[in-house]
Amino acid sequence: MQVFVTGASSGLGEEFAFQIAPRVGKLVLVARREPLLEILAERIREAHPHVAVAVFPVDLSRASEVDGLLDNLADTGFMPDLLVNNAGLGDYGEFASSDWEKLESMLHVNIEALTRLTHAVLPEMIRRGGGAVVNVSSLASVIPIPDFAVYAATKAYVTSFSEALRIELREHRIPVLAV
C-alpha cells in the first residue's frame, strides 16, 4: 500500500504518518519544513524498516510547487492508495484588517491544493478499482466564526467537497472521509 500525507511535519499530519506507517509499503511525506520531515522520516524508518519513506518539502500555497510535486511523483510512478489531505493554514483576526497574503495562502492550501491533489489521484484510483481519501476539515466548517471567517469558510468547503465526493465515488468503492 502507498500513502501520501500532506502537512506531515507536525501535529495531525505527523501522527497520521506515524500511525499509518506499520500498514504500508511506501509513505510520501509532504510539508514546507524539510528538517522536521526528515526527522519524522528517520523515526518511521527506524520503527518500520520495511517502509520506503520519501520526503518532499513543498509549499502547497504555491501552485507551481504543487504542479512540480505531482510531476515528480508521476516520474517515479508513485500513485497513492490513500491520500491524506492534512495540510492547512489558519489565521485569527478581523477580516477587514487581516493580511491579504495570509488569507490568500490559506485559500491556496486549504482549498486549491487539496482539490488539485485529489483531482490528480482519483482517476488512477478509479481505474485500479480502489483507494481512499481523507480530508482534514474542522468543527469550524459547520458554523460561521467571527475573527476566523476565512478559515471557517475554507473548512466548510473541505467538508462539502468531501461529502459530495463520497457520494460520487461510492460506486467505485473509494471512501472519502472528512475529519
Residues annotated as part of the active site? 151, 155
Residues 6+ positions from 111 with CB-CB distance below 8 Å: 154, 157, 158
The residue among 127, 114, 133, 119 whose CA lies nearest residue 172 is: 127
Alpha helix (H) ranges present in 48-85?
A: 63-76
CB 136, CB 179: distance < 8 Å: yes
d(CA 15, CA 53): 15
d(CA 154, CA 111): 6
Q: Which string of b and e fits 33-47 if b means at least 16 CB within 10 Å?
A: eeebbeebbeebeee
